């Protein structure tokens, strides 16, 4: 196994051991999805996003490709493609960085400190500079939509069944035999844009 392959494997294991939910795309370790939660004490707190990560053959000498799968309203993220404008990933990447750095430092910093003067989403940048409260409200609404998109797989069924029997999704979820391996999903709780 070559050095880049070992490093890829080691970084991926380190990411999984840091309590990130990782979903592999295929048998290789070059493409996967990571569940990313918005940083605490930010307007993105409580949001959940699915982030696609592609590791090039030359990783860690070449940066990973990072993109949001579900929509996020942010000046430095293209709303349609999910592409991220993050200098440390795009230009100043170093083999000293790893995947945990991406999810614990780089992406949280991007959400905490948007740069509206170098936007991928011009509308979000303009709104942020012109009307900060309206921008924050739009982020919160988008956060709820993104959370629903991430948890839609499986959670929709719980909500429908729970509603049909008059149970709130939260109490019905605890009665599901998930521990027996029959289900592998989480219920999605209602999200309010004013959170």
Report the side by side order of strands in the sheet with 31-37.
22-24, 31-37, 48-54, 65-68
- 3-state SS assignment for residue 110: helix
* Catalytic residue selected from 85, 110, 111, 188: 85
C-alpha 74/C-alpha 40 separation (Å) is: 16
Residue 190 backbone phi and psi in degrees, to 5: -60, 140
- 3-state SS assignment for residue 188: coil
Decide if 109 contacts 26 (C-beta within 8 A): no
191 catalytic? Reply is no
Say how many CA atoms lie within 13 Å of 115 toward its Cβ. 12
Residue located via tokens 């080691």: 10
Q: Annotated active-site positions, please?
A: 85
């Amino acid at each position: 196994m070559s050095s880049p392959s070992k490093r890829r494997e080691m970084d991926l294991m380190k990411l999984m051991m840091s309590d990130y939910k990782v979903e592999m795309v295929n048998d290789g370790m070059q493409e996967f999805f990571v569940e990313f939660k918005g940083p605490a004490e930010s307007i993105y707190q409580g949001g959940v996003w699915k982030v696609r990560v592609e590791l090039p053959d030359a990783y860690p000498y070449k940066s990973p490709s990072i993109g949001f799968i579900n929509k996020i309203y942010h000046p430095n993220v293209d709303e349609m493609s999910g592409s991220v404008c993050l200098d440390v990933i795009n230009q100043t990447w170093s083999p000293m960085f790893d995947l945990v750095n991406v999810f614990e430092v780089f992406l949280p910093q991007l959400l905490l400190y948007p740069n509206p003067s170098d936007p991928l989403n011009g509308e979000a940048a303009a709104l942020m500079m012109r009307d900060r409260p309206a921008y924050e409200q739009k982020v919160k609404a988008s956060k709820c939509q993104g959370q629903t998109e991430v948890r839609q797989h499986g959670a929709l069924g719980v909500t429908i069944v729970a509603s049909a029997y008059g149970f709130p999704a939260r109490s019905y979820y605890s009665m599901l035999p998930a521990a027996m391996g029959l289900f592998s999903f989480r219920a999605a709780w209602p999200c309010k844009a004013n959170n």
